[in-house]
Structures are given as C-alpha cells and as structure tokens.
Amino acid sequence: MKMTPIILSGGSGTRLWPLSRTKHPKQFCELLEKPLQTLTIERLRKYGPALLITSEKLKDMTERDLIQNKLGIEKVLYEPMSKNTAAAIALGCRYLEMQQRQHEVVGVFPSDSLILKKNEFEQALQVAATSASQGYVVTLGIQPRSPETGFGYIQVKERALGTEQATEVLKFHEKPTLEKAQSFVNDGHYFWNAGIFIFQVSKMISLFKKFEPEMWNTIEKLTPDLKNLGPLYTAVKNISVDYAIIEKLSSEELRCVTCDIGWSDVGSWDALVEVTEAYPYDENSLKKRPLQISAKGNSVFSHQKKKYGFVGCDDLIVIDTADAAVICKKGESQKVKDLVETIKIEDSKIVSEHVFENRPWGRFEVLRDASYFKSKVIRVEPGQKISYQSHNQRAEHWIIVKGQATVILDEKEHHLKTGEHIFIPQKSKHRILNNTNSLVEFVEVQVGTYFGEDDIVRYQDDYGRQ
C-alpha cells in the first residue's frame, strides 16, 4: 500500500501540565518508553518518509528529536504561527502539489496519539487507503471503551467492527454530555473521532476550493522555496479541518473505517493511568511505584529520584516535576486545564517553560538561578556543537564532567577531558564541540548582571538560528 503520512505536531497539552508545557508539549514528553511523536513517526515509517508539519516555535525540539532518534522525515514544514488543522492540511497539500504529487493518497495523523494494536491499525489503514483511492475522504472511527465526554463522535451506517470496506458516515457529533455519551455507547453506531483522515491530495484540494476558496487561494500562492509562507499564513483563518471541510461532506463523499486499534489521545492524566496499567514499574520511567498504607489505587508520575508514600487516601494521581506538583482525584484530571488557567495569572512562565530546555545539539537543565549567578548542566550529543556565540552581560566557567570536548575560545582551540575546566570572559566568542561518539556533559556557572537566554550574539550556527 502506497500512502504518504502527514503528521501534524502542535498544541500545548495543558491537561498534562506540569509535565507538558507550552514550550515542551506532550508529543515531546517522555510519558512512555519514547516520546509520542517519535512513536508516531516510527509507526508510520513503513509507508515511506513522512511530511511533518509543526510550529516554528518547536523547531529546536523537532530538530533534536529527528537527529537523536535518526527519524527519516521527508520534509519538515514549519508554520510561522498556529492556524489550526485546516491551514496545516492545506499547506501539506500545496507542498505535494508543487511536487506534482497531487495523485497520491495521504494519511493525516496527530503526532501525540498512542496506538497499541499495530496489526489492527495497519489493516484499518489498508481499507481506508483503498477507499481513498476511489475518491472518498476517509476517517478512522475508534470503538469507544467508555462514555467519553472529551471526544467528538462519528455516527455510521454499519455498526460492525473490522469490516473489509469503509462504511457510510451519517453525522458528526460534538463532545457530548455524559448522558448523551452513554447513549452513544449503548447504541453501537457511534465511534470516537481520532482526527485521522486519509484522502487523495487532488480530492482535498478540490474540497478546499469548494468550501474554503479564500484559504486555498491564499495557500496556492506559496512558492517552492517557501519564503512567502509567513505573510500567507497571517492571512488565512484559524479553523479546524473538521469544521472547514469534513463535516460539510455528503455521505457520497465521506467514509469511515470502524476499528479497535488500541488508540488513546493520552489527553489527560487519567488517560495515562489507563495506558500505563500494563507497564511494569521502572526506576527510570515516569511511572513510579508508590508505598501505600491504608491506601489503594494511587498513581505517581515523576522523573524525580524520590520515594512516594500514601497514608489513608485512595485514588489520587500525583505528578511531580522539579518546579511544580499536581495532586488530583482520579476521574477529575480533565480539570488540570482549569488549574493551568488559574496559575497563568500569577506565574505564566511556569506554564510555558521547564527548568530544562532541549536544543538541536542536546539539552540543558538549570540547577540554580539566583540574582548573582546561574548554574546549569549541559549535554552535547555526539557529533553536535553549540553555536559560535558571545554574551554581553555575563562570563562563564565550564567544567567537563563527562566525555572529551573541543572548546573554541576567541578563535583558539582547546581540548578538555573529564575534570578539566575553562573560563569564558564576558564578550568573548566561544563554542563547544563534541567530535566524539560519546555524550559530552559539562557544568556551566554564569556570573554577571543578567542571565537570560536572550543574551546571546550568534556568529555561526549549524541550525540556522539568529
């Protein structure tokens, strides 16, 4: 089966705060053995190199993920701003059209969903791709496991699962009340909308021209070098593909493959509890083994090296990070999103940033941030290097704690091994290179008058940053 995957990577994942944050959304979080986006790319690899569409703001994390995991992506299209799924899909279609590939069947997939039943997933895609090649727009309908109020539902004509052909769609339903959701489950003709769509590029382009002509007329002006994407994206409206296209289609144009593929959007801590029930406890994993005295049903998610104990309380979820912790009752974790809105008022930074940040070359973590100094531990992946840069308001001390590094300081080369250090004066040009096959780790201590990440003047950068 020939199908080009288009992976949409966006969103803020506020329901999974404090692990997921605006600058480190859930698709990059280490919720399972690998980040969700990595699992998605690997799952779709058999269909060919994917087209990844994501935000310019996530470029550093995206580049690092692709480099570190050696993921074969055909092209990353960076959106200058988020304009929802309709604009992203129009962008993907226009990119393929410019390559004379409008005849191809493509599948659109969220980057942050989990699919546990690989064989059933591939069988569903086979049926969907066959139907799409006949001119239909096809969506996957997920067998409900419970009366969920957080998902939209697809009402279909045929209720049987695992059919050898896609079934007719009667209607889309918005997120229901609990009573309505229960009636959907009891009826058997209603399936969760997973946001997965399969279609021919030419078919979707014709639908944009029909239902969203203004959007397509704008996106169609995109040039092959993509240099005019910024002003074009500013002009398009913010709307989901469901509202813009899918829900306007007649039953003669739309089909659904109903399936049970072990799908989860991992959209809340309750969802993660469900997903990880079969996972063993591991000291390095996010899921921790709690000690419970006169207590039961409690769950802990943390990368901290701590022991967690519960006494006299049941069915709690504890999420613990370096700078924030959340405790919620099981069944109530959807309300974490409301908590984030409250926290934003007094501390917007803690909603958007962790004490660590990923970069294309590696990662850094803040150890201490005081008014008179700042310390970090910095990791540089094998074969990578930071930009050649200087700082106007601070000097730095570097001590190598792991590996062997090459440091360029004002054009002079220094070779440092574990235990050795170097001083970087204020305004001096400097960079560190890892020319080995092993990780380089060093501790950086900054002294000066200002320690913000924006106090950087870059002279050379392998990743195109200014």
**Which range of residues forms the domain containing residue 202?**
4-264
Cβ atoms 462, 387 nearer than 8 A: yes
Average of per-residue pLDDT across 323-352: 92
Q: Angle 201-211/84-98 helices, nearest 10 degrees? A: 130
Is 12 domain-assigned? yes
> Does one domain contain both 419 and 305?
no
Residues with Cβ < 8 Å from 358, sequence gap 6 or more? 24, 28, 60, 61, 64
Question: Which of 263-272, 281-290, 305-314, 316-325 is predicted with the least confidence, judged by mean pLDDT?
Answer: 281-290
Confidence of residue 256 (pLDDT cuts 50, 70, 90): very high
Average of per-residue pLDDT across 8-35: 88
Residues 86-96 have pLDDT tens digits of 999 999 999 99
Higher pLDDT, 197 or 66: 197
Whole-number Å distance between alpha carbons of 360 and 332: 36
> Does one domain contain both 62 and 168?
yes
- Predicted local distance difference test score (pLDDT) of residue 43: 93
DSSP alpha helix (H) spans, 29-151: 36-44, 59-68, 84-98, 118-133
> Does one domain contain both 322 and 367?
no
Whole-number Å distance between alpha carbons of 242 and 17: 26
> Does one domain contain both 50 and 172?
yes
- Predicted local distance difference test score (pLDDT) of residue 64: 79
Is 276 domain-assigned? no
> Does one domain contain both 93 and 204?
yes
Report whether pLDDT(357) > 60: yes
Please state, in angstroms and as integers, the Cα–Cα distance from residue 192 to each residue in 171, 344, 395, following that order: 12, 31, 55
From the centroid of its chain, how far is CA 233?
21
Whole-number Å distance between alpha carbons of 315 and 290: 12
> Does one domain contain both 40 and 10?
yes
Average of per-residue pLDDT across 96-105: 94
Taken in order 1, 154, 152, 266, is the CA torsion positive or negative? negative
Question: In 3D, which of 110, 137, 149 has the Cα closest to residue 263?
Answer: 110
Is 185 domain-assigned? yes
> Does one domain contain both 259 and 326?
no
CATH number at residue 240: 3.90.550.10
Q: Tell me how far apart the terminal alpha carbons of the chain are, to the nearest angstrom.
A: 42
Confidence of residue 283 (pLDDT cuts 50, 70, 90): confident
Task: Identify any residues that bridge with 395 across adjacent strands, giving them in sequence order.
Answer: 447
> Does one domain contain both 318 and 439?
no
Is 278 domain-assigned? no
Average of per-residue pLDDT across 270-295: 88
Whole-number Å distance between alpha carbons of 224 and 205: 17
Cβ atoms 110, 6 nearer than 8 A: no
Residues 212-233 have pLDDT tens digits of 999 999 999 999 999 999 999 9
> Does one domain contain both 369 and 342?
no
Confidence of residue 465 (pLDDT cuts 50, 70, 90): low
Confidence of residue 160 (pLDDT cuts 50, 70, 90): low
> Does one domain contain both 373 and 327?
no
Question: Which of 70-74, 182-186, 389-393 is predicted with the least confidence, judged by mean pLDDT?
Answer: 70-74
Is 465 domain-assigned? no
Written as six digits, the tokens of 232 are: 């074009």
- Strands 167-173, 254-259: pairing is antiparallel
Q: How confident is the prediction for the chain on average, in pLDDT?
A: 91
Average of per-residue pLDDT across 308-324: 96
Confidence of residue 111 (pLDDT cuts 50, 70, 90): very high
Total structural domains in the chain? 3
- Predicted local distance difference test score (pLDDT) of residue 284: 77
Is 432 domain-assigned? yes
Report whether pLDDT(161) > 70: no
Report whether pLDDT(352) > 60: yes
pTM higher than 0.95, yes or no? no
Q: Where are the beta strands (DSSP E) in 136-242?
A: 137-142, 153-156, 167-173, 190-200
Domain boundary residue, one of 215, 236, 264: 264
